[in-house]
Every structure is written in C-alpha cells, then in structure tokens.
C-alpha cells in the first residue's frame, strides 16, 4: 500500500488554457488518455465506506486500483491506495480478497458490478518546488453514469517527496494567474452522485468541517448547476465567518459575498479561498 497525498483543484472553463500558459509550466507536458470503469455493489456499499474500486486502461495495460477513505479538507487529502496490473478483462477478485480493507469481504466481492465510467485526457508536469517534488496532473474529460454526463476539468497536485506545505505554496502561485478553487470530491464520489441523481452534504460542527461542507456544496453546484447548492455553499461560508480568527472570518465573508455573482471564481478570489483552506485544512473525512 502507498499513501497518496494530493491537493485537488477545480478549474473554471478558461482554467486549462490559462494553466498551460503559466510560466511555471514552461516544459511540454506528458500526455495520456485514461479510460476508467468504477465498480461497486448495487447497494453502493463501497461508496458508503468511502472506498473506490476501478479498472484503468492505460497504454495497453489494465490497472486495478483501490482507494480508501481520505482525510483532510479544503482540497488536501491523504488516502490509502493499492494498484496493480491485471490480465483482465474483468476484476482480479483474488487480489482484492487479499487486501486489508474490511469493506472488501467475500460477500461484497461476489456482488460487484460496473457502475460508471470516467474518460479523460491527462497532461502531467513534474516540478521541484520549495524542496518538494510535485506532480501536476491536468484532467479534462467526462464522467458518464447511465444517461447522465458531467465534465471533468480539474488539477491534482500530488506530493512525490517533501512536505505537504509545498502543495499549498504551489497552488497559490498558480492561482496568481489561473481561476481555481479547492475541491473535496473525488471522481468516484462525483460518479456515485451522478448515478444516484443526488448529492449529500456532510454535517459541520467546527471551522474545518464548515469549510469542507462549503467546498462539497461548490462541487455539487459545479456538476448540477443547481442554485440551491450555491446557496448552501454561501450559507456554510457565512457560518464560517462567525467562527475562527480574524483572517478566517474575513476570507469566509469575502467568498460568501462573491458567490452572489455567477462569475464569482476569479484568480484573486480563488487565491483567497486557498489561503483559507490552507489555514483550516484538518482531518475531515472526504467524499
């Protein structure tokens, strides 16, 4: 098992083009096309345990991946991850049975089925930043579940070596020119919400938890377009503005006010949200 430490960032429609012209990304990226099928039981037992199981097609190989519940918040996550090449065409059930997560019991394995797919183009860069080695992955594509589709337009900063603080520093540097924001919802959780036709917001009882609730509401708003999700995000930021220290209150109040405008996500506002997230990143369970 490896531990994946990454900062997930959502981009606006103009974000990918702006990112490619950022001076920190002067080198040509690596490019790959990834096709993924996610599996779960009909009752969604892996999703309920905040696990993801997928088969990924990459460069003629088939990779099987299991990811466990994440901890973090404000876009930053730490997750357990197992990945290995399989012959296909289906799942390697014997390999799954040997993993420690309790949710992968034999009764669950016998009921697994394909649930939804993600297909995207990935551009990758590797940077040295503040003593850390970081992989940047820009993903553009679609999530498809039944007859529904949503767009993938996100940037993942994965820590390969060094301290997690370097992820925040790099994200803030990118946000000087690119409109971006933290995202707490994995592709697997987005696919599950799309398949079910509904989103659920996490409960909140502390500043980090209110931030997590606000960010998940923004993820739901981006995928559904429902104004009630933007309202829910605004309400969470307003609640956050009554808690914490002066900087937290000021930043939360500014983000809540900006959400009254459809074009709220700008580089300065995204940078402010990143700084708020950096201060409050904690151990909230992630979607």
- What whole-number distance in Å separates Cα of residue 180 and Cα of residue 46? 30
pLDDT tens for each residue of 219-265: 999 999 999 999 999 999 999 999 988 999 999 999 999 999 999 99
Judged by DSSP in three states, 239 sits in: helix
| Distances from the Cα of 244 to the Cα of 114, 149, 247, 268, 279, angstroms | 43, 38, 8, 22, 10
Q: Quick one: 98 and 128 in the same domain? A: yes
Q: Quick one: 235 and 145 in the same domain? A: no
Whether 191 maps to a domain, the answer reads no
Whether 270 maps to a domain, the answer reads yes
Query: In the chain, how many domains are there?
Result: 2
Q: Quick one: 221 and 277 in the same domain? A: yes
- Contact status, residue 271 vs residue 176, Cβ threshold 8 Å: yes
Write out the residue range of the structural domain in which residue 164 sits.
2-182
- What whole-number distance in Å separates Cα of residue 151 and Cα of residue 27? 26
Q: Quick one: 29 and 70 in the same domain? A: yes
CATH number for 92: 2.40.320.10
Q: Is the pLDDT higher at 74 or at 58?
A: 58
Buried b (16+ CB within 10 A) or exposed e, 84-101: eeeeeeebbeeebeeeeb
Overall pTM > 0.85: yes
Q: How confident is the model at residue 109 (pLDDT cuts 50, 70, 90)?
A: very high
Q: Quick one: 149 and 214 in the same domain? A: no
- Model confidence at 33: pLDDT above 50: yes
List of E strands, 130-241: 132-145, 148-161, 180-182
* CA-based R_g, the chain, Å: 18
- Model confidence at 286: pLDDT above 60: no
pLDDT tens for each residue of 194-222: 999 999 999 999 999 999 999 999 999 99
């Amino acid at each position: 098992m490896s531990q994946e430490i990454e900062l997930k960032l959502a981009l606006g429609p103009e974000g990918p083009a702006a990112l490619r012209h950022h001076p920190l990304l002067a080198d040509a990226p690596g490019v790959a096309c990834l096709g993924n099928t996610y599996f779960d039981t009909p009752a969604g037992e892996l999703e309920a345990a905040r696990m993801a199981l997928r088969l990924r097609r990459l460069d003629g190989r088939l990779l099987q991946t299991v990811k466990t519940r994440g901890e973090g918040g404000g876009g930053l996550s730490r997750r357990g991850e197992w990945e290995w090449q399989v012959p296909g065409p289906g799942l390697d059930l014997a390999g799954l049975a040997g993993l420690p997560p309790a949710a992968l019991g034999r009764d669950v394995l016998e009921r697994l089925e394909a649930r939804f797919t993600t297909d995207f183009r990935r551009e990758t860069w590797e940077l040295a930043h503040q003593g850390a080695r970081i992989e940047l992955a820009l993903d553009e594509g679609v999530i498809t579940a039944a007859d529904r589709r949503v767009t993938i337009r996100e940037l993942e900063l994965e820590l390969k070596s060094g301290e997690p603080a370097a992820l925040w520093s790099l994200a803030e540097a990118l946000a000087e020119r690119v409109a971006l924001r933290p995202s707490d919802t994995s592709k697997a959780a987005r696919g599950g919400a799309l398949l079910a036709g509904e989103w659920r917001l996490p409960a909140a009882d502390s500043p980090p938890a209110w931030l997590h609730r606000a960010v998940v509401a923004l993820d739901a708003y981006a995928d559904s377009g429902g104004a009630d999700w933007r309202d829910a995000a605004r309400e969470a930021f307003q609640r956050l503005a009554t808690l914490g220290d002066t900087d937290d209150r000021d930043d939360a109040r500014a983000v809540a006010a900006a959400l009254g405008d459809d074009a709220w996500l700008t580089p300065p506002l995204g940078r402010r949200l990143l700084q708020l997230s950096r201060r409050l990143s904690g151990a909230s369970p992630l979607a």
